[in-house]
């Protein structure tokens, strides 16, 4: 699979200086963690789940979570498990895993991991791993132990994606200890932890809060402080950190807005003005702003609950030609000794040693999301990504 692989080759060629690279479920974890992009959640109760997975893959989705936890009621769990096993069999009957997204199951209890792997049988080859809810050291280790056991039993590499959403992580008096415990747990199973996901909705719930569509997670100071601390402890660029994904955007179109749109007109001048209007009508201007703030705060990818959110995440994940140029200059072998140089775009200073970690991360993102042509902005990438959606 590849990002923007649903576009015709001629369209991709016109958009990219370097096209997105191909990857699959067997690619290195370092690559897959960045390649997750917009991870689309779907309740495991859906009777058309197999058909939905293939449809979303044709629309550019490369990672999905099939949820047995908060998206369904307690009374639906047994039926959802049966449906999940049935839908995997239907997916397997459709041929190879080629073209399917990376598939993860969000479970409620550790025992579900071993039970589902057993029940999936040979169809487990379509599964990339499990999403682990409300993760702390005490609650998380049994999940990770179950994952290791299930993996040994089926002979297939399975990844974990812990969700950081517990009240202990939010509350100031327990946050430091909780973060330290999470760090110990995920470090013990480092080879199997693909990414850490932020459960911002649960954070807001602990205080009876809900951010409006005109606001980002970073406008809610309680939430912003947790994100900062999670990245501080678990997202370091010194080799000890993990990929931390951005919080969910939970809004669909609304009939009336209180605040002005957040999208400037200038990037959408001319024919793209209609696209700007559509984004505003669907409350996606707030999403675009939050994606940019995710990146600025050290997060990669995003949890998504609606297909319309996928294209904006992927469009803003593409490395711009300017970013690529800066990263390439910083990483040239002759720069190993450090120093300062003016960017090729002559608009900034590139300081080799301080900017090296940024440049390495940018190049990894370029491998999976590609590099835009010099005259291509996120507007063109977004318009192309929205085709057939």
Extract the annotated binding site for Mg(2+).
202
3-state SS string over the chain?
A: CCCCCCCCHHHHHHHEEECCCCCCCCCCHHHHHHHCCEEEEEECCCCCHHHHHHHHHHCCCCEEEEECCCCCCHHHHHHHHHHHHHHHHHHHHCCCCCCCCEEEEECCCHHHHHHHHHHHHHHHHHCCEEEECCCCHHHHHHHHHHHHHHHHHHCCCCEEEEEECCHHHHCHHHHHHHHHHHHHHHHHCHHHECCEEECHHHHHHCCCCCCCCCCCHHHCHHHHHHHHHHHHHHCCCCCCCCCEEEEEECCCCCCCCCCCCCCCCHHHCHHHHHHHHHHHHCCHHHHHHHHHHHHHCCCCCEEECCHHHHHHHHHCCCECHHHHHHHHHHCCHHHCCCCEEECCCCCCEEEHHHHHHHHHHHHHHHHHHCEECCCCCHHHHHHHHCCCC
Burial class of residue 143 (count of CB atoms within 10 Å of its CB; 0-12, 13-18, 19+): buried
Residue 229: burial class (beta carbons within 10 Å; 0-12, 13-18, 19+):
middle
Distance between CA atoms of residues 355 and 330, nearest Å:
7
CA 252 to chain centre: 19
Other residues' Cβ atoms within 10 Å of the Cβ of residue 94 = 14
Measured CA to CA, the distance from residue 328 to residue 240 in angstroms comes to 24
Which residues are annotated as part of the binding site? 202
């Amino acid at each position: 699979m590849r990002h923007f692989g649903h576009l015709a080759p001629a369209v991709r060629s016109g958009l990219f200086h370097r096209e997105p690279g191909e990857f699959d479920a067997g690619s290195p974890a370092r690559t897959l963690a960045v390649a997750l992009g917009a991870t689309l959640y779907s309740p495991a109760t859906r009777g058309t789940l197999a058909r939905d997975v293939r449809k979303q893959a044709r629309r550019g989705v490369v990672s999905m979570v099939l949820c047995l936890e908060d998206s369904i009621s307690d009374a639906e769990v047994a039926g959802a498990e049966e449906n999940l096993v049935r839908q995997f069999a239907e997916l397997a009957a459709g041929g190879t895993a080629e073209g399917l997204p990376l598939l993860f199951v969000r479970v409620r209890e550790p025992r579900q991991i071993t039970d589902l792997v057993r029940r999936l049988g040979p169809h487990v080859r379509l599964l990339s791993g499990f999403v682990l809810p409300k993760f702390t050291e005490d609650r998380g280790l049994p999940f990770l132990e179950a994952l290791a056991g299930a993996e040994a039993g089926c002979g297939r590499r399975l990844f974990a994606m812990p969700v950081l959403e517990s009240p202990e992580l939010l509350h100031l008096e327990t946050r430091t200890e909780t973060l330290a415990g999470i760090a110990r747990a995920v470090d013990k199973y480092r080879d199997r932890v693909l990414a850490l996901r932020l459960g911002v909705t649960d954070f807001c719930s602990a205080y009876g809060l809900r951010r409006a569509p005109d606001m980002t997670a970073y406008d809610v100071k309680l939430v912003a402080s947790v994100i900062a601390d999670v990245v501080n402890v678990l997202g370091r660029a010194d080799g000890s950190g993990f990929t931390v994904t951005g919080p969910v955007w939970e809004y669909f179109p609304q009939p009336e807005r209180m605040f002005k749109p957040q999208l400037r007109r200038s990037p959408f001048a001319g024919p793209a003005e209609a696209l700007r209007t559509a984004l505003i009508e669907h409350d996606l201007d707030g999403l675009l702003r939050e994606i940019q703030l995710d990146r600025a705060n050290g997060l990669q990818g995003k949890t998504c609950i609606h297909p319309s959110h996928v294209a904006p995440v992927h469009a803003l994940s593409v490395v711009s030609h300017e970013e690529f140029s800066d990263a390439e200059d910083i990483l040239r072998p002759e720069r190993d000794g450090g120093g300062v140089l003016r960017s090729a775009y002559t608009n900034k200073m590139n300081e080799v040693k301080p900017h090296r970690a940024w440049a390495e991360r940018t190049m990894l993102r370029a491998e999976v999301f590609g590099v835009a042509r010099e005259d291509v902005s996120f507007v063109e990438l977004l318009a192309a990504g929205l085709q057939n959606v």
